[in-house]
Amino acid sequence: MNIILVALGGALGAVARYGSIQLATRFFTFPMGTMLVNIIGSLLIGILMARLSSDPAKLLLITGVLGGFTTFSAFSWDVLQLFQRGQLTMAAAYVLGSVIFSLLAVYLGYTLAK
């Protein structure tokens, strides 16, 4: 049942991401759609983590819907938890490492595939 909840939520989140980005590209040339999806997803994970206590609801809405909508929300939640535990150096290293190594990885992947 857990897999079904995650899969259903993931499909809904992916469709929501696609629609949001398509809508935003009608109004902006900057990749505003992706940025808005990341911001909205981060807002929603904060709300849902504070409010939800049911594991099935978390699987459907957080792992599924928000996982399909944006994984940036999970990244943001991880950073917040590090800040809340007072692990500021670890939070900074996580942010910088994630951004820098992700950019290097996408460049490497693109270069290797060409």
Report pTM: 0.79
Query: How would you write 35-50 as a 3-class SS string?
Result: HHHHHHHHHHHHHHHH
Query: Can you read off the two tokens belonging to residue 72?
Result: 């940036």
What is the H or E stretch that residue 93 is in? helix 88-113
pLDDT beyond 90 at 57: yes
Q: Note whether 69 and 13 are within 8 A (CB).
A: yes
pLDDT digits (tens, 9 = 90+) for 24-45: 999 988 788 888 999 999 999 9
**Dihedral sign for Cα atoms in the order 95, 98, 99, 101:** positive
- Separation between Cα atoms, residue 94 and residue 104, nearest integer Å: 15
What are the extents of the domains in the chain? 2-113
Helices (H) and strands (E) in the chain, counts: 6, 0
pLDDT digits (tens, 9 = 90+) for 4-20: 999 999 999 999 999 99
- Separation between Cα atoms, residue 113 and residue 97, nearest integer Å: 23
For the chain, the average pLDDT equals 94
CB atoms within 10 A of CB 41: 27
Q: Note whether 90 and 33 are within 8 A (CB).
A: no
